[in-house]
Amino acid sequence: MTAGGKLDTTILDAGGRLGAKGLFGLQNQQFREKLAEFRLPAWRIRQLETALYGQRVTNLDQVTTWPRELREQVAAAGFRVGLPEIVETFRSVDGTERYLIACADGQTVETVWMPEGDGAEDDDSGPESESGSAPSGRSWTRATICASSQIGCAVNCQFCLTAKLGIIRNLSAGEIAGQVAAVLNRQQAEPGRDRINLVFMGMGEPFLNYDAFMDAVRLLAGPMGIPESRMTVSTSGIVPGILRFAGEPVRPRLAISLNAPNDAIREDIMPITRKWAIADVIDAVRKVPLRSRERVTFEYVLLGGVNDQPQHADEVVKLVRRANFPARVNLIAWNPGPGVPFATPDSAAVDAFQQRLRAADIPAFVRRPRGRDIYAACGQLKKTGNQG
Ligand code: SAH
Ligand code: SF4
């Protein structure tokens, strides 16, 4: 199942091709246009939206608020729910599950379910009420879903396995939100009842697929019922995307993949730094109006011997102070992947790095690697079966 061979760098947008008769992912006016031949009144469209996004039906026949005849007519015209489907599941010893999810054109995308989260989610705000105790037969009280925004990625960070694929294509809004729906259905999780966090940290660079990504966010935060404050989007620092994001009325929390204490090291491991330097990224982030108690996350992948030394921690301290907005740092020990020439840092180096930030009053957290044994951890997603 590996992509193998030469990378396919053609960017194909998902919409308008094979999935043309799929309804999942459409909003408001789009339904009216697509289903024009049925002349549905607004309230029939609302019933459909509730079924698709609130109940997450997988088949038009389950839209029971519609008369059977209407369901049959719409299905007979070739329309389908078109929810992406989980075609393979890899289960880690730690409970993490990695899914291959198939899109209408047969491409697969990766999504990860992490019961109890991995510490990436900054969910200190919001009510705790739903997270009391696990319903019987269930081992988790809260969970995090890690979704992908593209198949592959064009950004080419040297330490990331997804980068090896190159960019295959963008995902549509329905394919992004659909990953979440498929996983919620699989786990029988309900956003209104269960504490579900969502991180857009899977395959791809969300801000290089901006419109589809934000359409998905609006679906998720609206009819799918996941509060925007429980969502985090991670970007490698696409400045025009961050500037657009700053103007969004509904938006996830923001995480920036910093990964280096200065431009020189960052250029080596994230060539995109030549286009947008760290200072440009920070200036753009400053334009994002933060909600009360909101912090921006800096993600920092520790690469043994490259960016994990005490002097690097001191530089990060200065950088975060200069940024001068509420921030936290998430440290991630590099997760290995075949053919990626870096080393996992010593755990002593990880601890020392964290302590140095904390001593300078910068909130710093070490993310637990989840599902490393099934290649589900950060930067390990590569559209593979079992990583031979
Ligand atoms: N493209 C976006 C979001 C997906 S990557 C971004 O780069 O921010 C999500 C996170 O995983 C990023 O912070 C990235 O730096 C990190 N990451 C990538 N490869 C990794 C690896 N091999 N080990 C640990 N973290 C990795
Ligand atoms: Fe793309 Fe993010 Fe991987 Fe960089 S770290 S190659 S931006 S997925």
Pairing of strands 195-200, 231-235: parallel
Verify whether ligand 2 is closer than 6 Å to residue 163 (CB atom): yes
Strand residues in 141-291 grouped as ranges (E): 142-146, 150-152, 167-170, 195-200, 231-235, 253-257
Minimum mean pLDDT range among 7-11, 108-112, 123-127, 138-142: 7-11
User: Where does CATH 3.20.20.70 sit in the chain?
Assistant: 85-374
- Fold topology of 85-374: TIM Barrel (3.20.20)
| Closest ligand, as measured to the CA of 344 | 1
Round to whole Å and give the CA distance between 316 and 59: 50
pLDDT digits (tens, 9 = 90+) for 57-104: 999 999 999 999 999 999 999 999 999 999 999 999 888 999 999 998
Closest residue by Cα to residue 22 from 59, 47, 51, 50: 59
Q: What is the DSSP letter of 374?
A: G
384 C-beta closer than 6 A to ligand 2? no
Asked if residue 153 has its Cβ within 6 Å of ligand 2, the reply is yes
pLDDT value, residue 119? 67
- pLDDT for 2 equals 33
Q: Is 148 in the pocket of ligand 1 (CB under 6 A)?
A: no
Give the least confident one: 131-145, 193-207, 244-258: 131-145
**Sign (positive/negative) of CA torsion 45, 46, 48, 52?**
positive
10-80, what's its fold? DNA polymerase; domain 1 (1.10.150)
Q: What is the pLDDT of residue 112?
A: 95
386 CA to centre of ligand 2 in angstroms: 21
Residue nearest ligand 1's atom 1 by CA:
205
The per-residue pLDDT for 366 is 94
Decide whether any atom of ligand 2 lies within 6 Å of the 110 Cβ.
Answer: no
What is the pLDDT averaged over residues 160-174? 94
What whole-number distance in Å separates Cα of residue 43 and Cα of residue 49? 10
DSSP H/E element including 213: helix 210-221
- Give residue 77's Cα distance to chain centre: 34
The pLDDT tens digits of the residues spanning 176-223 come to: 999 999 999 999 999 989 999 999 999 999 999 999 999 999 999 999
Q: Residue 117 has what pLDDT?
A: 72
* pLDDT of the residue at 6: 36
Contact 175, 229 (CB under 8 A): no
Output the 3-class SS for 33-97. HHCHHHCCCHHHHHHHHHHHHHCCCCCHHHCCCCCHHHHHHHHHCCCECCCCEEEEEEECCCCCE
- Residue of 146, 159, 165, 236 to mutate, ligand 2, most atoms within 8 A of C-beta: 236
Cα radius of gyration (the chain): 21
- What's the confidence (pLDDT) of residue 141? 86
Quickly count: other Cβ atoms within 10 Å of residue 93's Cβ. 9
In terms of phi and psi (left: phi > 0; alpha: psi -120 to 50; beta: otherwise), the region of 290 is beta
235 lines ligand 1 (CB under 6 A): yes
The Cα 199–Cα 194 span in angstroms is 16
pLDDT tens-digit map of 324-340: 999 999 999 999 888 89
Token digits of residue 192: 């209104």
Beta carbon of 159 within 6 Å of any ligand 1 atom: yes
Which of 159, 160, 170 has the most ligand 2 atoms within 8 A of CB, as the residue to mutate? 160
- The span from the CA of 380 to the CA of 336, in Å, is 8
**Which pTM was predicted?**
0.91
Interval between CA 259 and ligand 2 midpoint (Å): 11
Atom of ligand 2 nearest to the CA of 204: 8
Please give the distance, rounded to the nearest whole angstrom, from the Cα atom of residue 41 to the centre of ligand 1. Answer: 45
Q: Assess whether pLDDT exceeds 90 at residue 122.
A: no
Letter for the amino acid at 257? S
Q: Which residues are known catalytic residues?
A: 110, 378
Find residue 333's DSSP bridge partners: 302
Tell me the average pLDDT of the chain: 89
Cβ atoms of 332 and 364 closer than 8 Å: no
Give yes or no for residue 388 having a pLDDT over 60: no
Check if 201 has its Cβ closer than 6 Å to any atom of ligand 2: no
pLDDT digits (tens, 9 = 90+) for 341-374: 999 999 999 999 999 999 999 999 998 777 777 7
Structure tokens at 163: 């980068």
**Looking at the chain, which residues constitute the CATH 1.10.150.530 domain(s)?**
10-80
Distance 44 CA to ligand 2 centre (A): 41
Q: Within 13 A of 10's CA, how many CA atoms are on the CB side?
A: 3
H-run or E-run covering 296: strand 296-302
Amino acid at 247: G
Ligand (nearest to CA of 157): 2
Q: How long a stretch of residues is the chain?
A: 388
Residue 7 pLDDT greater than 50, yes or no = no
Range with the poorest average pLDDT among 18-22, 49-53, 86-90, 314-318: 18-22
